Structure 1
Amino acid sequence: MWVLLGILAYSAAALLLRRYGLLPSSVSIQGPFTTVHTKRGRDFIDWVATPKRFWRAWTNFGLGVTLVIMVGMFLFLLLQGLFILQNPPEPSAVNQPQNFLVIPGVNDFLPLSVAPEIVFGLLVGLVVHEGGHGILCRVEGIDIDSMGIFLFTLLPLGAFVQPDEESQQNADRGGKTRMFAAGVTNNFAVTIVAFALLFGPVIGSIAVAPGMAVQGSYDGSPAAAAGIGQGDRVTSVAGTPVTNESTLDAALASTDERTVQVELNGGDSAADRETRTATVQRSLIVAGSVADNPANLSVGEEPITVSEVNGTPVHTQSGFSEAVGGSKFATLTTSRGTVTIPVGAYVTRVSADGPLANAGAPTDGSAIVTAIDGERVTSSSDLDRVLDGTRPGETVPVELYDDGELSTYQVTLGENPNDGGGFLGVGLFPGTSGLLLTDFGVQPYPAGTYVALLGGDGGPGAGSVSGALAESPLSAVYVALILPLASLVLGIPNFPGFTASVSNFYSVSGPLGFLGSNVFLLANICFWMAWINLQLGMFNCIPGYPLDGGRILRTSAEALVSRLPVSEPYTVVRTITTGVGVTMLLSLLLLVFGPTVLN
Structure 2
Amino acid sequence: MNTLQWILLGILAYTAAAMWLRNRGYLPDAVRVSGPLTTIHTKRGRALLDRLAGPKRLWRAVANVGVGAALVIMAGMFVLLVANAVSIVANPPAPTGINTPQNVLIIPGVNEFLPLTVAAEIVVGLLVALVVHEGAHGLLCRVEGIEIDSMGVALLTLIPIGAFVEPDEESTKEVDRGGRTRMFAAGVTANFVVVALAFALLFGPVAGAISVAPGAAVGGTYPGSPAADAGIGAGDRIVALEGEPVANASDLSERLETTDAETVAVELSDGTTTEVERELLVTSVAETSPFAAPSNGSGGGAGDGASAAGVSVNDTVVAVDGTAVRTEGGLREAIAAADDPVVTLETADGETVTAPAGALVAVAEEGPFQAAGAPAGDHLVVTSVDGERVVDNDDLTAALDAREPGEEVTVQAYRTAGDGEGGYEWTNYAVELGTHEEDGGAFLGIFATPGVSGVSVDSLGMTGYPADYYLSLLSGEAGGGLLGTLLLVTVLPFLAVVDPSIQYNFAGFVGSNSAFYEVTGPLSALGDGGVFLAANLLFWTGWINLQLAIFNCVPAFPLDGGRILRTATEAVVSRLPVEARPALTRSITVSVGLTMLVALLVMLFGPQVLS
- Which residue matches 1:116? 120
- The Cα offsets for residues 429-475 of structure 1, whole Å up to 9 and x where unpaired, read as 44322333222111011101111122367xxxxxxxx4xx2x41423
Whole-angstrom distance in 1 between the partners of 2:39 and 2:398: 62
Q: How big is the shift at 1:87?
A: 5.4
- The Cα offsets for residues 194-229 of structure 1, whole Å up to 9 and x where unpaired, read as 111111111111111111111111111111111111
- Which residue matches 2:421? none
1:455 equivalent in alignment to 2:500: no
Whole-angstrom distance in 2 between the partners of 1:79 and 1:392: 42
- Which residue matches 1:141? 145
Whole-angstrom distance in 2 between the partners of 1:153 and 1:522: 31
- Which residue matches 1:343? 357
What secondary structure sits across from 2:413 in the alignment? strand
Q: How big is the shift at 1:231?
A: 0.6
Structure 1 residues 249 and 360, CA, compared in 2 at 3 Å: closer, same or farther?
same
Whole-angstrom distance in 2 between the partners of 1:15 and 1:23: 10
Q: How big is the shift at 1:331?
A: 1.8
Report the more deviating stretch, 539-548 or 570-579.
570-579
Of the three residues 462, 472, 489, the one matched with 1:480 is: 489
What secondary structure sits across from 1:93 in the alignment? coil
What secondary structure sits across from 1:224 in the alignment? helix
Structure 1 residues 283 and 42, CA, compared in 2 at 3 Å: closer, same or farther?
same
Matches within 5 A, 1:70-149: 70-84=74-88, 91-149=95-153
- Which residue matches 1:286? 282
Answer yes or no: is the 8 Å Cα contact 2:332–2:391 preserved in 1: yes
- Which residue matches 1:207? 211
What secondary structure sits across from 1:367 in the alignment? strand
Answer yes or no: is the 8 Å Cα contact 1:389–1:421 preserved in 2: no
Identity of aligned residues (%): 53
Whole-angstrom distance in 1 between the partners of 2:113 and 2:445: 30
Whole-angstrom distance in 2 between the partners of 1:345 and 1:27: 67
1:572 equivalent in alignment to 2:584: yes
What secondary structure sits across from 2:512 in the alignment? coil
- Which residue matches 1:268? none
Whole-angstrom distance in 2 between the partners of 1:500 and 1:538: 29
1:582 equivalent in alignment to 2:594: yes
Q: In structure 1, what residue type is equivalent to 2:562? A: G
Report the more deviating stretch, 432-441 or 125-134.
432-441
Q: How big is the shift at 1:30?
A: 4.5
Whole-angstrom distance in 1 between the partners of 2:67 and 2:98: 30
Whole-angstrom distance in 2 between the partners of 1:4 and 1:588: 18
Structure 1 residues 356 and 46, CA, compared in 2 at 3 Å: closer, same or farther?
farther
1:405 equivalent in alignment to 2:425: yes
Q: How big is the shift at 1:580?
A: 2.7
What secondary structure sits across from 1:207 in the alignment? strand
Whole-angstrom distance in 1 between the partners of 2:23 and 2:571: 47
Structure 1 residues 564 and 3, CA, compared in 2 at 3 Å: closer, same or farther?
closer
Answer yes or no: is the 8 Å Cα contact 1:354–1:424 preserved in 2: yes
- The Cα offsets for residues 381-404 of structure 1, whole Å up to 9 and x where unpaired, read as 434444444556655443332223
What secondary structure sits across from 1:502 in the alignment? helix
- Unmatched tracts of structure 1, length 5 or more: 266-273, 458-465
What secondary structure sits across from 2:272 in the alignment? strand
Whole-angstrom distance in 1 between the partners of 2:215 and 2:454: 28
Whole-angstrom distance in 2 between the partners of 1:522 and 1:540: 27
Whole-angstrom distance in 2 between the partners of 1:85 and 1:15: 36
Q: How big is the shift at 1:279?
A: 0.5
CA-atom RMSD, angstroms?
2.9
1:512 equivalent in alignment to 2:512: no
Matches within 5 A, 1:187-266: 187-265=191-269
Answer yes or no: is the 8 Å Cα contact 1:206–1:456 preserved in 2: no
Q: How big is the shift at 1:68?
A: 2.1
Matches within 5 A, 1:350-369: 351-353=364-366, 356-357=369-370, 359-364=372-377, 366-369=379-382
Whole-angstrom distance in 2 between the partners of 1:497 and 1:551: 35
Normalised by the size of structure 2, how large is the TM-score? 0.86
Whole-angstrom distance in 2 between the partners of 1:125 and 1:31: 25
Whole-angstrom distance in 2 between the partners of 1:488 and 1:32: 31
- Which residue matches 1:167? 171
- Unmatched tracts of structure 2, length 5 or more: 297-310, 417-423
What secondary structure sits across from 1:176 in the alignment? helix
